A and B are shown apart, each in its own frame.
Chain A
Amino acid sequence: MLEAMQVLAIIALAPLVHGAMKRLRARLQGRPGPSAVQPYRDLAKLWGKEAVLPEGASIVTTCSPGLSLGVALAFAAVLPFVRSGAASIVDVIALTFLLGLGRFALALAALDTRSAFAGMAASREMTFASLVEPALLIALLGGSALGHGPSVASLRMAPFGLAGALAFGAFFLVLLAETARVPIDNQETHYELTMVHEGLVLEYAGWQLAMLQWAAHIRQLSFLLLAALLLPGGFSPWMTIGWVAALAGAITLVETMFAKLRLFEVPQLLVTAFILAVTSIGLRLFGAPL
């Protein structure tokens, strides 16, 4: 029951977080920007519109927005903010594979549309994902209390320290990649050649696009919450809200201050994340006093 409430809260608030980040970024760039509730209006508008797909696209393309949304919901359900069964069963390894399921479906759908842009996006998405995966897994392991097993719930028990800080640093870089943020990807671009995540869903429209966008919002908020868990006191309600707000602000700041990296410089960033994560796990294992 509590799990369902957690999921509902995340579903309801995810578009707002996205809208607030968008507005903040516009303000930082000196534009008025859309209202923070604009994503709700967009979703409502898209939901009312008909879906349009390329001729001959298979059932894989039809189903994958729903699958992607389901993966996002499952992700939201396993976050250990309430005492839930799911969080103590699902560990960070299974979580990583779960995220892979959604990505697999979307990449297949992109290749199914026969569009060169979508194919390119699928190729880049899978390339980045394969590099993100080790960093994500090791960062989460570094952030969990290894003695309690790697379940998602154990992220609450790990003491923060130098190891925790490094794990968080690694996770922050992963977060930028997973939520398609600027040094790695650009959500706001209108130029197909530079799109990664947006290019993947280029051929979707109407209520299917609404599903995909909502899924992306939910994934983003879930990642922010997961990042908050890696910070000290991140699981008490007020601290969580504070950390999520701070992280959202930090991401927006990064997006304003930095330009998008060239495609083949992204691996270096992800390797940095990976090295931070490995250092963190090393400190955790050999009992750093800090």
Chain B
Amino acid sequence: MALRLVGVCATWFVASLCALSAIAAGTHYAPIDLATLAAPTPALQLTLGLSPLAAPFLMLLALLAVPVGAWSLRRGRPIDAALIAGFTLAMLLVLLARTVVAFFFAWEAMSLISALLIAAHHERRSVRRATFVYLAVTQTGAACVLVALALLAMWAGDASFTAIGRAAATLPPMLRDAVFALALLGFGSKAGLLPLHFWLPRAHPVAPAHASALLSGAMLKVALYGLLLVTLELAAPGPAVWGMVLIAIGTVSALGGVLYAVVDHDLKRLLAYSSVENVGIIVVGIGLALLARSLGNVELAALALTAALFHAINHGLFKGLLFLGADAVADSEGTTDLERLGGLWGHLVWTAPLFLVGCAAIAGLPPFNGFASEWMTFRSLVGALPGRGDAFVKLVLSASIAGLALTSGLAAACFVKVFGVAFLGRPRRSRSAPRRERFASSTPALGLLAALCTLFGIAPPLVVSPLDHVAVAAVGAAPTPLPSLPLLPGTLVALPLAGAMLAAALAARRGIRRVPTWTCGSPVTTSAQYTATAFSKPLRTIFAFALLPERQRVVEAGISPWFPLGIRYRTESRYLVDEAARRFAATMLRLTRRARALQSGSLRIYLAYAVAAVILVVVVAR
């Protein structure tokens, strides 16, 4: 108990540090250094400082760490509470780091502590495997990040971010692009962008819920901060191509992530895929900001960057809410498999309405925060259409608008499935009357996140105006009036809300007669309800080219095949990207197996190799 309390208090303390530094950083226009730890050589100096670009991420971390800390008061292992505090601190340090070495140390601490969190239930094989995959991806990514930062530091002759940023203008184009590619690889794999997303759906279902909430809600955003840091400060200004690449990758990630999510039936894995989608949307915003900046339209760049930062904060909030809610579901039902959940609305009386807020927010419905930021992203994309840029740029922008529109439609379908199947309807497993959820210390944690999702949706200027300040500082534009966002949700939501209240009032006054569901006269059974797999069937068929679904049907027939005794049905998606990766890995394994013939173990052969090598060296050197 003592360890748990210390952990929670430490988390809250770090959260207050985050909030303070966010406020301090957000009020500046340029980065400032706070404290430097002297080192034997200047290259090894550890400097912490405040940069306006980090302010939104610090704020998100503060907003998320408070409810996550409250959550770990009652749930999870005691050691997890302490790890959460350490994880939050590591992320804080990444955001404050102002030298290459400090950044890299904090980055590695963040990766390793999160790996410890993922490995919480390491007695299970799947958990060990997920942790291993995560470590492999994250360490490869870290290597890319380190090389990128080291290249920049070598060019600047100094390892502090301030000096690197000052020297950035003179970077040769080749080096600049190499740094961008490495940063994209390193930060993109951490953020879960599409070809490198595969650790996310493995790690999230096995990690404890509060760890998932922080991983998905905050750590992916810290990776995006890294990308912003490199593209907007350390290696800025980039060519238009960077923006185009990011818009393309972001759109593909958004679409791919949501397609995977819509056909998945494990609640936590589905949420992980949906993180891939949302990171994609944020990256589209970042890409557009870079593109607009390189084309000289700084107002638009500021708008796009504001949209991206706003969506990053919003995604952190609603994804935190959904992951914590999923844990409440797992706690009560013992599973997160949508095929076995149902009718939770009846007894999860606290979680269910708050989870609905999260679902509506992530589906981008007004008046919640997801709508506000997705709308801003669309608005900035549309704003870029009539501006400068050649036909190819316009084509990419149009494709991105269409892709994001499809994404938001699919996300709505996905979360109708999640909420409708798991929370509404009738319980799918016959249980003796399920226990009614009681108010616990985890409930206010969910309530706080849901309240923030609603507040930021109803009053976006609360967040958008400080973010605009940051974005303006980052892209070097003059402050511009924001589009008519403040009035928008009110206009859109007043009438629907009034209608819903009218319907509820009428129902209370006139009464509603309750009858069994109409099933054409046959008995009402639980198994007649639509399942998650059935719900996503049309989409699985339409997008079969990308999802590569496979199905297996086993019919147990008795006397006649027309009167089966039982039917077992299994369906699974192989996914185009994963299949390509699998093929690649299999080919590589086959090639290495062939290469094994070289390593015969015979000393004479090795001597022959050495002689051949010497001859080759002599021939080449001559």
Contact = CB atoms under 8 A, between A and B. Distances in A.
A108 B402 contact: no
B269 to A, nearest CB: 20
Given A60-B424, A119-B534, A211-B503, A55 B365 contact: no
Given A133-B406, A134-B405, A74 B503 contact: no
B513 interface: yes
B338 to A, nearest CB: 12
A123 to B, nearest CB: 5
A70 B495 contact: yes
Contact of B382 (A78, A150, A286): A150
Contact of A56 (B346, B371, B506, B519): B346
Report, as a range, how many residues of chain A touch the other chain. 35 or more
B401 interface: yes
B398 A203 contact: no
Interface string A43-75: 000000011111111111011111111110110
A130 B410 contact: yes
A58 B424 contact: yes
A51 B413 contact: no
B39 interface: no
Report, as a range, how many residues of chain B touch the other chain. 35 or more
Nearest to A215: B499
A122 B530 contact: yes
Interface string A102-116: 111101101111111
B413 A126 contact: yes
Most buried by B among A56, A57, A126: A126
B30 interface: no
A285 B385 contact: yes
A52 B513 contact: yes
B487 interface: yes
Contact of A70 (B382, B484, B497, B538): B497
Given A53-B512, A74-B492, A133 B405 contact: yes
Nearest to B406: A134
A52 B515 contact: yes
Given A60-B424, A101-B366, A119-B529, A129 B409 contact: yes
Contacts of B419: 108
Given A63-B504, A89-B484, A134-B402, A127 B412 contact: no
Interface string A130-165: 111110111001000011011000000000000000
Given A100-B408, A211-B503, A285 B530 contact: no
A120 B528 CA distance: 11
B383 A149 contact: yes
Contact of B488 (A90, A118, A132, A146): A90
Contact of B426 (A51, A56, A68, A129): A56
A77 interface: yes
Interface string B18-50: 000000000000000000000000000000000
Nearest to A146: B386
A127 B539 contact: yes
Contacts of A54: 514-518
A112 B488 contact: no
B398 A66 contact: no
Contacts of A122: 416, 420, 530, 535
B502 interface: yes
B536 interface: yes
Contacts of A282: 394-395, 398
Contacts of A107: 416, 420
Contacts of A133: 405-406, 408-409
A51 B420 contact: no
B172 to A, nearest CB: 35
Contact of A71 (B416, B496, B512, B524): B496
A263 B41 CA distance: 69
Contacts of A98: 366, 492, 496
A264 interface: yes
B161 interface: no
A274 interface: yes
B364 interface: yes
Given A93-B378, A126-B412, A77 B424 contact: no
22 contacts: A57-B514, A58-B424, A63-B504, A67-B500, A77-B495, A89-B484, A89-B487, A98-B492, A100-B365, A101-B492, A104-B412, A105-B500, A108-B419, A114-B425, A114-B529, A119-B530, A124-B538, A133-B408, A146-B385, A281-B385, A282-B394, A285-B394
Identify the 5 closest CB pairs spanning chains A and B, nearest first.
A119-B530, A70-B499, A66-B503, A111-B420, A130-B409
